[in-house]
Structure 1
Amino acid sequence: MPNSRLLREQVLQLLCQFDAGNVDVAHTIESNFDEEIGKTNEPESKAKKLAQKVWDDHEIGDEHIKPFTPEWPLHRQPLIDRNILRLARFEIVSGMTPPIVAINEAVELASIYSTEKSSSFVNGVLDAIFHDKKPCPPVVETTDGEK
């Protein structure tokens, strides 16, 4: 069972692959884990399931994130940053992770994998989402009926 950080790294790797181009999401989930991050043959792994859920929800998530990034629309954000935001937002909105934990983990991922200023950007956006009083859009249910 991967630890939480490793799980997030695996999910982030898959999300970036999905976001990078027109790829077959199902095929990517089954075949493209980087050996350094943790190759798995288990088709129902947690990382694969979570990556699919976050990706299924990314259009709604992007609309939720958009008002908090008026100076940096999603298409202008580094690919890694927008996928860190998508993952953390999903964790917060779905209730699967306490918001402070999701934010801290996202900031840590940004400081490891992105630019020097990314951790501050990610922290600011997620903090604004967390403290926003407007109801957030629901998380999309996946085909297996799970959130």
Structure 2
Amino acid sequence: MAHVATARTKARKRALDLLFAAEARGLSAGDLLDQQIAEGQVPNNPFTVKIVRGVVTDAERIDALITAFAKDWSLTRMPAVDRNVLRIGVWELLDGDVASEVAISEATALVTELSTDDSPSFVNGVLAAVAKDLARA
């Protein structure tokens, strides 16, 4: 089945663009989002804002979970796209607004489109391990 681009899928891609751009510029994603909103570049979907603010707010816990389950990969060693897609995916798992399967599927689809050939299985594996751990908690 082909991946259908829903409004939330587009919001995740926009959030990824913001997180990636902020990291590349050495800025806080929250600051970049605030700057864009101040300049009238408000994201079309409020879900984009919710994702970015959530990832920024929970950054320490999100990065700790990624680090714990990304076997033999440090955050700095990961491709920037993978690192930021994982942050979005882990935030969605923590947020609980969508089923973990949906969060994992959406993250995997993003890296399939935007990253390396190895990225989908890597991201899927890390997020599945995080989801399993959170389910035990």
Same-fold status (TM-score > 0.5) = yes
> Quick check: 2:19–2:29 contact (8 Å CA) kept in 1?
no
> Quick check: 2:43–2:49 contact (8 Å CA) kept in 1?
no
Partner of 1:62: 63
Partner of 1:101: 102
> Quick check: 1:30–1:43 contact (8 Å CA) kept in 2?
no
> Quick check: 2:7–2:45 contact (8 Å CA) kept in 1?
no
Q: Which has the higher helix share?
A: 2
Partner of 1:87: 88
User: Counterparts in 2 of 1:1-147, with a 5 A limit?
Assistant: 3-23=7-27, 25-30=29-34, 32=36, 40-41=41-42, 45-132=46-133, 135=137
Letter in 2 for 1:101: V
Cα distance, 1:16 vs. partner?
Answer: 1.0
- Deviations 1:63-93 (Å, cap 9, x if unpaired)? 1111111311111001110111110111011
Letter in 1 for 2:9: R
Alignment CA distance shift 1:27-1:71 (3 Å): closer
Cα distance, 1:55 vs. partner?
Answer: 1.8
User: What are the ranges of 5 or more consecutive residues in structure 2 without an aligned counterpart?
Assistant: 1-5
Q: Which moved more, 1:4-13 or 1:20-29?
A: 20-29
TM-score, structure 1 as length reference: 0.76
> Quick check: 1:54–1:86 contact (8 Å CA) kept in 2?
yes
Cα distance, 1:45 vs. partner?
Answer: 3.2
RMSD over equivalenced CA pairs, Å: 2.5
- In the comparison of the two structures, how many residue pairs are matched? 129
User: What are the ranges of 5 or more consecutive residues in structure 1 without an aligned counterpart?
Assistant: 34-38, 136-147
Cα distance, 1:127 vs. partner?
Answer: 0.9
TM-score, structure 2 as length reference: 0.81
- Deviations 1:7-61 (Å, cap 9, x if unpaired)? 110111111122224225455214559xxxxx95469933123212212211211
